[in-house]
């Protein structure tokens, strides 16, 4: 076997690292615009779905979104004012939280009374398939529609995600059923909504 000097080894690996670093930087910069466009489209699709527009095609989602929504802020966080599918005006609030395995996030559309949920969508990074990832499904998200984030006296309570029969002091209009088999993900959604919907 051929002998290699230490000098050769150091030079060799340094050169290789420089070459690969330059290559990767090039690829990253070259593809970045398309990756960001993809993320924007996904976000537009999600918000439009929450606002009652159904599934909007990828190709038109960004355009449609900019025609109905305008960027605002709510307590310094990302929010939008949106013309909903039924003609009313709604407020879109971005929510961020922790699931069981990784981050979860979503968009809540509030009606113009700032208290009633018109629509909601959730996304997750890595919740358990078949259990925690059910938070993205219509069956779960549609249970939020019409719920209120304030109680009868106007105090903030959020929409709690609770097991059926637990904590009965919380009114029906302020709670939805948690997903069975996904207790921790459900708790994550609960905490996320409580933290992010609160005005204060």
Partner 1 sequence: MRKYLGPLSKDNPILVQILGVCSALAVTAQLKPAVVMTLSVMVVCAVANLVISLIRNTIPPRIRIIVQLLVVSTLVIVVDQVLQAVVYDVSKMLSVFVGLIITNCIIMGRLEAFALSHKPIPSFIDGLMNGAGYGLVLVIVAFFRELLGSGTLWNYPVIPSAFYEAGYMNNGLMILPPMALILVGTLVWIQNSKKINAK
CB of 120 to partner 1, least distance (A): 20
For residues 76 and 130, which CB has a smaller minimum distance to partner 1 in the complex?
130
Contact characters 53-72, partner 1, x per CB under 8 A: --------------------
25 binds partner 1 (CB under 8 A): no
User: How far apart (Å, rounded) are the C-alpha atoms in residues 111 and 146?
Assistant: 9
Total residues at the site for partner 1 (CB under 8 A)?
24
CB of 21 to partner 1, least distance (A): 9
Supply φ then ψ for residue 48, to 5 degrees.
-65, -40
Smallest Cα–Cα separation from 48: which of 33, 66, 72?
A: 66
| Contact predicate 111/96, CB 8 Å | no
Which residues within the stretch 28-57 sit at the binding site for partner 1 (CB under 8 A)? 28, 31, 34-35, 38-39, 41-42
18 binds partner 1 (CB under 8 A): no
CB of 155 to partner 1, least distance (A): 38
For residues 130 and 165, which CB has a smaller minimum distance to partner 1 in the complex?
130
Q: Which two tokens stand for residue 62?
A: 């960004």
User: How far apart (Å, rounded) are the C-alpha atoms in residues 79 and 59?
Assistant: 23
- Say if strands 175-177 and 160-162 run parallel, antiparallel, or are unpaired: parallel
CB of 190 to partner 1, least distance (A): 24
4 binds partner 1 (CB under 8 A): yes
Running DSSP on this structure, what letter comes out for residue 158?
Answer: -
180 binds partner 1 (CB under 8 A): no
Among 88, 126, 137, 180, binds partner 1 (CB under 8 A): 126
| Contact predicate 111/144, CB 8 Å | no
Whole-angstrom CA distances from 159 to 28, 54, 106, 155 are 41, 23, 14, 12
CB of 162 to partner 1, least distance (A): 24
């Amino acid at each position: 076997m051929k002998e290699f000097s230490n000098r050769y080894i150091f030079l060799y690996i340094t050169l290789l690292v420089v070459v690969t670093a330059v290559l990767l930087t090039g690829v990253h910069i070259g593809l970045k615009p398309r990756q960001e466009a993809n993320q924007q489209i996904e976000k537009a699709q999600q918000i439009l779905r929450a606002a009652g527009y159904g599934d909007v095609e990828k190709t038109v989602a960004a355009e449609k979104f900019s025609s109905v929504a305008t960027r605002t802020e709510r307590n310094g966080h990302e929010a939008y004012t949106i013309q909903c599918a039924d003609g009313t005006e709604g407020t879109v609030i971005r929510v961020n939280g922790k699931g069981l395995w990784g981050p979860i996030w979503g968009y809540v559309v509030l009606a113009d009374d700032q208290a009633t949920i018109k629509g909601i969508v959730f996304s997750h990074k890595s919740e358990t398939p078949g259990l925690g990832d059910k938070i993205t499904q219509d069956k779960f998200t549609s249970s939020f529609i019409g719920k209120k984030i304030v109680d009868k006296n106007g105090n903030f309570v959020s929409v709690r995600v609770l097991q059926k029969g637990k904590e009965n002091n919380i009114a029906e209009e302020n709670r939805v059923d948690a997903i069975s088999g996904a207790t921790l993900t459900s708790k994550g959604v609960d905490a996320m909504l409580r933290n992010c919907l609160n005005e204060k």
